[in-house]
Chain A
């Protein structure tokens, strides 16, 4: 139980860590990692085939870890911050099917602390795994900052279902930077959930489909509170043939600003890609700015996008009222439906967990 290691955590902090999707009992998880500020508190795997440790230890003890570290940035010709401390190294061995999710928690505790981590995730040939990363901040973490670099390497036929839950506070700034490299036939499903207030989040994760037949999908649910700025996008570079990509985002503004970006780039033929962005603005002060981009140098591609932003449709409210719902109930049911966890490609276990989290957060927000 993580509880043992969390002796210095008060009930408030435990609740916050739980609210980012962490199972403190670890009963329904196959491996855990926990880092508080710059200190790696624990890591352990309950099953064969899953290696989990701090990135520093991996770079010390696993010779090939070095060859992965930073390599995805080099491939794209991008710089990355090198002043990181901590982060996790996860490797799932060839052919392993990991039924219960692996969990990783990055927690901000000290006021003014700048947490900067670098994660490396390797899913070997044919392995299938679910990973949930919860990033959260203690009430004491005033003016906190989190930078999270993640590099994902999916080998031939690998499957990774990655869910990131952000549970920050109104004065915390956050900057995740992620790149996923997919080999032939690999599948990467990335789910992002951000329902609590935050000062500023800027993220634009990129997946490169470099092997034929690879698939990536990015799904996000964003609730934006007054004073929050969430500049959140996803990019997929379809570099190989017969690759597929989908980007789906749902944003609800209660008064904050959301910039919903999406970029699909076809670098080969016979690809299929779709981008969908829907936004609901529930407050006069709210702003949603959708910026979908699609690029192709090829004719034989199938790329599409749809975007819709606005207030809740009056007809939908009145439809529910004509079934006996009050206006307030109708609005809440519609928003809840709009933020349907079904759009995330989650396994049943995580779907139920995220659903409960969302229900709780939305109830508290209205």
Chain B
């Protein structure tokens, strides 16, 4: 098992956001996380990365057979975790190219990937400052792919991206995930990304709990047609049965 989340509860600003969550991701597995706004999906990813303000009050997080909940963010990154933000920080004066160089010594690779993701002009701009929504997402994908983590935590990678660029991003991401042993946990609302990657498992998060596990495309279709209320009904029904 690559990642094993066991019964974790997470508090944000003193409020319990995640309650007794358990999930597992195998090596080379791609899992998809659905759920309405405010259900706790981003909180889960941020808690896994170890961001301050997302404290795990109980339970454990095992990554590559090691308990990581006491590790710093950069230690988790060293172990092979990587995040693509939904709302990344904007840092004045820090250029995208600086971070790219830190992540990857291969200049050719930086050039090629920036070219594919239409980011050549953005390399020497302040990171995320005055980037459009789509540009930010491409810059996030660019960085995480240069970082080469084993487990990618992708928070709405395609939101705000035009269809043409979703196709480019989807293809680039899929190529990476095809490499041996690469895994991902992907949050998506639009479901577009599912057309480009081969995700086998999906689940729905509602009110800080994980409900309903199944095939991502089937779950997505059901949500699209009948909304999250149907998930709730289905879950309640299963519980009664």
Complex CA gap A324/B49 in Å reads 11
Chain A interface secondary structure, helix, strand, loop or mixed? helix
Known interface pairs A333-B98, A334-B94; A321-B72 also in contact (CB < 8 Å): yes
**Contact of A319 with B89 in the complex, beta carbons under 8 Å:** yes
A323 interface residue (CB < 8 Å to B): yes
A339 interface residue (CB < 8 Å to B): yes
Question: Out of B77, B93, B102, B126, which one reaches A322, CB within 8 Å?
Answer: B77
Question: Out of A320, A325, A338, which one reaches B92, CB within 8 Å?
Answer: A338
**Contact of B52 with A322 in the complex, beta carbons under 8 Å:** no
The chain B residue sitting closest to A339, CB to CB, is: B93
| Shortest CB distance A248–B (Å) | 12
Question: Out of A324, A338, A342, which one reaches B103, CB within 8 Å?
Answer: A324
| Shortest CB distance B138–A (Å) | 16
**Contact of B73 with A318 in the complex, beta carbons under 8 Å:** yes
We find that the number of chain A residues with CB closer than 8 angstroms to chain B is 23
The chain B residue sitting closest to A342, CB to CB, is: B93
A300 interface residue (CB < 8 Å to B): no
Known interface pairs A318-B51, A318-B73; A323-B143 also in contact (CB < 8 Å): yes
Question: Out of B73, B85, B91, which one reaches A334, CB within 8 Å?
Answer: B91
Which residues of chain B from 86 to 111 have any CB-CB distance to chain A below 8 Å in the complex?
Answer: 88-89, 91-95, 98-99, 102-103
Counting contact residues on chain B (CB < 8 A from A), the size range is 20 to 34
Chain B interface secondary structure, helix, strand, loop or mixed? mixed
**Contact of A337 with B91 in the complex, beta carbons under 8 Å:** yes
| Shortest CB distance A54–B (Å) | 39
Task: Please name 21 pairs of A and B residues whose Cβ atoms are closer than 8 Å in the assembled complex, sorted by A.
Answer: A316-B89, A316-B91, A318-B51, A319-B91, A320-B91, A320-B99, A321-B73, A321-B74, A322-B77, A322-B83, A323-B77, A323-B102, A324-B78, A324-B102, A333-B98, A334-B91, A334-B93, A337-B94, A337-B98, A337-B126, A342-B93
| Shortest CB distance B193–A (Å) | 21
The chain B residue sitting closest to A340, CB to CB, is: B93
A336 interface residue (CB < 8 Å to B): yes
The chain B residue sitting closest to A330, CB to CB, is: B74
Cβ–Cβ < 8 Å partners of A316 in chain B: 89, 91
**Contact of A333 with B94 in the complex, beta carbons under 8 Å:** yes
B188 interface residue (CB < 8 Å to A): no
**Contact of B89 with A321 in the complex, beta carbons under 8 Å:** no
Complex CA gap A212/B223 in Å reads 64
Cβ–Cβ < 8 Å partners of A322 in chain B: 49, 51, 73-74, 77, 82-83
The chain A residue sitting closest to B90, CB to CB, is: A316
B43 interface residue (CB < 8 Å to A): no
